[in-house]
Amino acid sequence: MKEFDTVIVGAGLAGLTCGLELSGKGKKVLLLEAEPVVGGRTANYSLGGMEVESGFHRYIGYYTTMPKVLRKAGIRLNEIFTWEEKIEIRVKHDDKLVTLGLAPLFGPLKLISGVLGNNKLLSLRDKLSLVPFFLNGFKDYALKPKELDKMSIREYAAKYGVREDAFHNVVVPLSTGIYFLPPERYSAYVFFGLLAPGIPRLFKLRIGAYLGGMTDVMCRPMADVIEKRCGTVMTKQKVVKLLLNEQQEVIGVETHSGEKFYGKHVVVATTLNSAKQLLNVPFGKHAWFQPMLKLPMMPAAVFQIDLKKPALRKDITTFGPRTSMASFAEQSRTTFRGRPGRLSIILADPEKFLPLTPEETLEIVLRDAEALGMHIREDVLDYRKIDHNYDFHSLEPGYNWMRPDQNTPVKGLVLAGDYTMQPIFATMEGACISGVNAAKIILKRKNPIRRKSQEGYI
């Protein structure tokens, strides 16, 4: 029989991190990935002859676990990122830009200029209205998290008198621009929870844009290290069933082809949607799993366009409040070098776009791009729409408590994924934290005794 110390279901960032940690301790691990490439929601691949990514991703400088994980894989941050010290916010039907510096250490003048400047779009009263909003938000995040999670960011901004221009030109880009939920549905707890970890590490804050597809520059190299340590990574292996013994302990998995793999531990490191499908049949009536199985999910829609020339004069993280273009960037000089032009876009209100055809979506994007000062209609070469019907756990108010811990009450079963309970929500940092935590749980557990399955002893 195919036996391993740990079988990991899913070779996204959480699964790769867990595999990297365990293989580094001499454990024999197997990673099974349903897709043709590793990376999960951070993957790049060819879609109908066009190279695309599953999303539009940025590395945040205050991350701590993710850089440690990458270094363990021999990946140097400065070799896979180009660093941005500011972001741009394009205002609809206005040729002015809001430029916000983000890097106190690496770009202090840009930070000061952003705070003191932009006066034509953000008046002094606008800026001052943000002060009590942020001060009270961080205080409530620390002292009243449950109460804060009952409110949307729109309600919280209204409570502290944030002016409309300040709300749409600052708060919305930092909320909807990141997780594409409208502010009326975006948890205030999540909003401040994404920003709060950066406060003690504010000096490290900046944004990293990838110098290549994330499978190529990050995820595949992580998988290569696992394999060099005698681990095994297999793609096109969709796990359809968890194998249990008579004591209802998890002892392995079965793939779509009927192949069975056994392990002393099994880590389910898939998306929440896939995890629900695997866990519902054996544990659907188990009280511990009930909140997780009822935790709502939310979709995402990404649109990527190849162009005859760059859409913007530089590759920089950009936000388009009050348009379909929640966040976007020209990427022909960074992630998709070699393309004459490449615009990657996270679409706001993804529920609206899921039923639309790529052609219908392109027309909406082109109109909004023009409203933001980008005249690209005649430059379009090719385009792709990437839909994720169940991309993240819901970040709406009231659901945070339903996220499960990585450690389950079922012997042999551990969870990993950014939806599990860790402090950074649905981010790459959160995925890495969950993978590290899952590995720690396994390393602390005593090896389970040999137990009988329907196929025999393992």
Domain boundary assignment for the chain: 3-50+214-296+396-457, 119-202, 297-393
> Cβ distance 335 to 298 under 8 Å?
no
Does position 458 have pLDDT exceeding 60, yes or no?
A: no
To the nearest 10 degrees (0 to 180), the angle between helices 13-23 and 428-444 is 40
For the segment 189-196, the average pLDDT, to the nearest whole number, is 92
How does DSSP classify residue 349? S
- Sequence-distant contacts of 124-132: CB under 8 A, at least 24 apart: 125/163, 126/163, 126/165, 126/166, 126/169, 127/166, 129/160, 129/161, 129/162, 129/163, 129/166, 130/162, 130/166, 130/170, 130/171, 132/160, 132/161
Q: What pLDDT sits at residue 115? A: 54
Does position 453 have pLDDT exceeding 50, yes or no?
A: no
To the nearest 10 degrees (0 to 180), the angle between helices 220-228 and 13-23 is 20
CA atoms within 13 A on the CB side of 425: 22
* pTM of the complete model: 0.93
Does position 308 have pLDDT exceeding 90, yes or no?
A: yes
Asked whether the domain spanning 297-393 has the same topology as the one spanning 3-50+214-296+396-457, the reply is no
Structure tokens at 216: 């190529």
Virtual torsion, Cα 115, 116, 122, 128, nearest 10 deg: 70
- pLDDT > 90: percent of the chain: 79
Q: Determine the residue type at 347.
A: L
First to last CA, the chain: 8
Q: What is the pLDDT of residues 55-66, one digit of tens each?
A: 889 999 889 999
Q: Average per-residue pLDDT in the chain?
A: 91
Structure tokens at 61: 């400088």
CATH code for the part of the protein at 297-393: 3.90.660.10
Q: Which burial class, exposed, middle or buried, applies to 81 when counting CB atoms under 10 A from its CB (0-12, 13-18, 19+)?
A: buried
Q: What is the pLDDT of residues 78-114, one digit of tens each?
A: 999 999 888 899 988 887 787 776 655 555 555 445 5
Q: What pLDDT sits at residue 103? A: 54
For the segment 205-223, the average pLDDT, to the nearest whole number, is 95
Q: What pLDDT sits at residue 451? A: 45
How does DSSP classify residue 426? S
For the segment 118-147, the average pLDDT, to the nearest whole number, is 90
CATH, domain 3-50+214-296+396-457, list 1.10.150.120, 3.30.70.270, 3.50.50.60, 1.10.287.990: 3.50.50.60
Does position 258 have pLDDT exceeding 70, yes or no?
A: yes
Q: What pLDDT sits at residue 338? A: 86
Q: Burial code of 172-205, b = ≥16 C-beta within 10 A, e = fewer?
A: bbbbbbbbbbebebbbbbbbbbbbbbbeeeeebb
Residues whose CB is less than 8 angstroms from the CB of residue 255 and which lie 6 or more positions away in sequence, other chains included: 32, 237, 238, 239, 240, 261
Angle made by CA atoms 225, 229, 235, in degrees to the nearest 5 = 60
Q: What pLDDT sits at residue 200? A: 79
Residues whose CB is less than 8 angstroms from the CB of residue 354 and which lie 6 or more positions away in sequence, other chains included: 299, 301, 387, 389
Sign of CA dihedral 417, 211, 51, 71: negative
Which H or E run includes 430?
helix 428-444
Q: What is the pLDDT of residues 360-391, one digit of tens each?
A: 999 999 999 999 999 999 999 999 999 999 98
- Which stretch, 167-176, 232-241, 317-326, has highest mean pLDDT? 232-241
Q: Determine the residue type at 249.
A: E
Q: What pLDDT sits at residue 116? A: 53
Q: How many CB atoms lie within 10 A of CB 245?
A: 18
Largest CA distance in the chain: 74
Q: What pLDDT sits at residue 27? A: 96
